[in-house]
């Protein structure tokens, strides 16, 4: 196998090695991997999320079975999507880890992953949509963590890939999303998908606008997924005894929490960092054309062009939602 190993943003090399395979795993030929500037941010020398166990990025991948699985359910050549959410047991406690975040990921030509993390793809789902399945799974777990339901307002702070998918999921589950971001183009994309309330703090007084939109009561819940708007705004846009979720795999450093607001409003704070158990539902939502992904891919590169893209992402960290790396 050949995999891109990143020690830091200046030391990137293509490493060839024998593909390891543990019991219960299957071998895959990777076809496409989706990456972003966030994936590369883990390797910055000053990153608060730096992990010595991580050298290979990539947690979104479409692949082909390079062998039959043990139960002959998935045959060699079957097109699959990989779930990066791996259930492990540490010291008798079950914990979900994420490939490409907590351990080496999928930016390679071949990979070996647990058989339970491989899902066959219907013919009707193109590769460019399938690579977003994990974000839909994560979004489902975010919304499942909320007490908010049908007819309730959910403020989503950050029009990242996850934020844009969350807004669509909220609409599907008959919630009312209010999407907040500094990027007018991303807000326009969400609006084209039917997200009616989009706010830009450059032009909008967020607290006043959310108060107007909700009829004075503020939102039942907020979800923080981005770094462009201060985290404390997610606290201020929800009602008393509301809930605030921090979602995703990481956020950049420098955030502070106004504990006085949490206490005064008696808020519930929740963290959601995986989509374990929701991949089948995500694939079904894609198959039924519920979630749109057009416009989420910013760039396409070949496997050999990864080092140049790392440099680009380091220089322009907010420019890239998703980059598709073509392996085959």
Distance CA 148, CA 150 (A): 7
The DSSP output letter for 202 is: T
Distance CA 232, CA 213 (A): 20
- SS3 category, 63: strand
The DSSP output letter for 229 is: S
Domains of the chain and any CATH numbers: 2-131+296-326 (3.90.180.10), 135-272 (3.40.50.720)
Distance CA 258, CA 316 (A): 29
Closest by CA to 62, choosing from 155, 126, 143, 136, is 126
CB atoms within 10 A of CB 43: 22
Closest by CA to 212, choosing from 197, 225, 222, is 197
The DSSP output letter for 91 is: T
Task: Tell me the backbone φ, ψ of residue 217, rounded to 5 degrees.
Answer: -95, -10
> What does each of the 328 residues of the chain score in pLDDT, given as a tens digit?
999 998 877 788 999 999 888 888 999 999 999 988 778 777 765 665 566 667 899 999 999 999 887 776 889 999 999 999 999 888 888 899 999 888 899 999 999 999 999 999 999 999 999 999 999 999 999 999 999 999 999 999 999 999 999 999 999 999 999 999 999 999 999 999 999 999 999 999 999 999 999 999 999 999 999 767 789 999 999 999 999 999 998 665 567 889 999 999 999 999 999 999 999 999 999 999 999 999 999 899 999 999 988 888 777 766 667 899 999 8
């Amino acid at each position: 196998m050949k995999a891109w190993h990143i020690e830091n943003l200046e030391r990137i090399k293509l490493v060839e090695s024998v593909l390891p395979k543990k019991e219960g795993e299957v071998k895959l030929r990777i076809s496409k991997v989706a990456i972003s500037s966030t994936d590369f941010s883990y390797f910055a020398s000053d990153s608060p999320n730096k992990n010595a166990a991580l050298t290979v990025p990539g947690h979104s991948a479409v692949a082909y079975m390079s062998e039959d699985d043990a139960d002959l359910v998935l045959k060699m050549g079957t097109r699959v999507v990989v779930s990066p959410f791996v259930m492990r047991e540490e010291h008798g406690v079950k914990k979900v880890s994420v490939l490409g975040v907590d351990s080496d990921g999928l930016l390679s030509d071949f990979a070996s992953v647990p058989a339970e993390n491989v899902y066959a793809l219907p013919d009707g789902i193109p590769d460019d949509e399938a690579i977003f399945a994990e974000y839909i799974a994560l979004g489902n777990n975010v919304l499942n963590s909320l007490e908010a339901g049908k007819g309730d307002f959910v403020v989503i702070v950050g029009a990242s890939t996850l934020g844009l998918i969350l807004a669509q999921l909220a609409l599907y589950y008959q919630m009312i999303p209010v999407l907040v971001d500094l990027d007018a183009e991303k807000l326009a994309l969400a609006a084209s998908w039917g997200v009616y309330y989009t706010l830009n703090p450059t032009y909008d007084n967020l607290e006043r606008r959310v108060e107007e939109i909700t009829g004075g009561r503020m939102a039942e819940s907020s979800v923080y997924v981005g770094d462009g708007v201060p985290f404390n705004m997610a606290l201020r846009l929800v009602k008393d005894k509301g809930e605030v979720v921090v979602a995703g795999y990481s956020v950049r450093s420098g955030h502070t929490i106004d504990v006085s607001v949490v206490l005064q409003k008696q808020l519930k704070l929740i963290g959601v960092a995986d989509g374990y158990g929701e991949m089948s539902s995500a694939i079904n939502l894609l198959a039924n054309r519920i979630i749109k992904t057009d416009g989420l891919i910013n760039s396409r590169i070949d496997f050999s062009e990864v080092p140049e893209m790392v440099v680009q992402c380091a220089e322009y960290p907010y420019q890239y939602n998703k980059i598709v790396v073509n392996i085959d």
